[in-house]
Chain A
Amino acid sequence: MEFIYEVEGGNFIKAGNASSAVKKTLKQLNVDPKIVKRTVVALYEAEVNIVAHAYRGSITVNINARSIRIILDDDGPGIPDIELAMRQGYSTASPKVREMGFGAGMGLPNIKKNVDELNMSSIVNKGTKVEMITYL
């Protein structure tokens, strides 16, 4: 099955709404709670990244008997150096993002830790695409 969510850049009130909805769905599908937690923690960090850095984005969640595959696609400034962005402690977050309790350069490492596969591609001044796969 497939679910699609829209994410608004800069709207911190709504940040996490998609992750919350996905968590409820995975619980309803009786997915192992440990896998639910890993998946939604990674998704929430990625959703916050869209809100923090991009203008808008979409989250597409595909669930089947073998895996949970999530694609986050945003229109935004893009990431010039993905390797650098993956480094713990590296951040380009605004003071507003830090006020929300994020922006310490832990999001991407945290995402990587919690999913089985992480693929990222980015075009500067266009946007970033993140694919996260968790095997069931």
Chain B
Amino acid sequence: MRLEINNMRVFYGKIEAIKGISVVVNEGEIVTLIGANGAGKTTTLKTISGLRKISEGSIIFDGQDISNLSAHERVEIGISQVPEGRGIFPGMTVLENLEIGKYFRKNRASEMAEDIERVYTLFPRLKERTSQAGGTLSGGEQQMLAIGRGLMARPKVLLLDEPSMGLAPMMIQNIFNIITEINKSGTTILLVEQNAQQALQRAHRAYVLETGKVVKEAKASDLLNDPAVRAAYLGTGANNPG
């Protein structure tokens, strides 16, 4: 499994949001895209998951060009996205949210119970809230639900968009621990984060995006110690990397 984005360009109308970026995610890695607001991180993820149309370049997954597949077909071949702002279905219960995560695998009903159990083991809090409407959960619980729902599709690569957004520091630690755990159990992860400190600590490799371009690509641990990156993205709170 390898996800390869080659010279990808994406336009919103006449505005070029992504100006030819190339990113590679190898099997088993956590790769992170960091960058400021408007750098194109979310657009990149949405184009990989098929919500946005690629204008030029290609997306290769498992050796297959998937640039023209629609979003739901990409889920079927193993790409799941946990959207920014969690995107859970507020009027559905926790259980229904998880069930719909396996929507396309209709012939694999036997997996359902097993995978729900797996998500509940990962997030015991969700099990307690199983019949509660998704919209009534706290932000952290919604994030757990969004990640759990993403795992229901048994993705080969999980795209995570700002999983730490709006969460309390304790919860951020918790979520990142679980991301690491998910990766260790064999799921490749492409992580978009504004919390560069956490993202770089957890990731194997990283790309820095600025206004639609990749300006730096390196091992995550190297970027943690890179003076330019520290100044731009890690701020003053980063005196103690690692």
A binds B: no
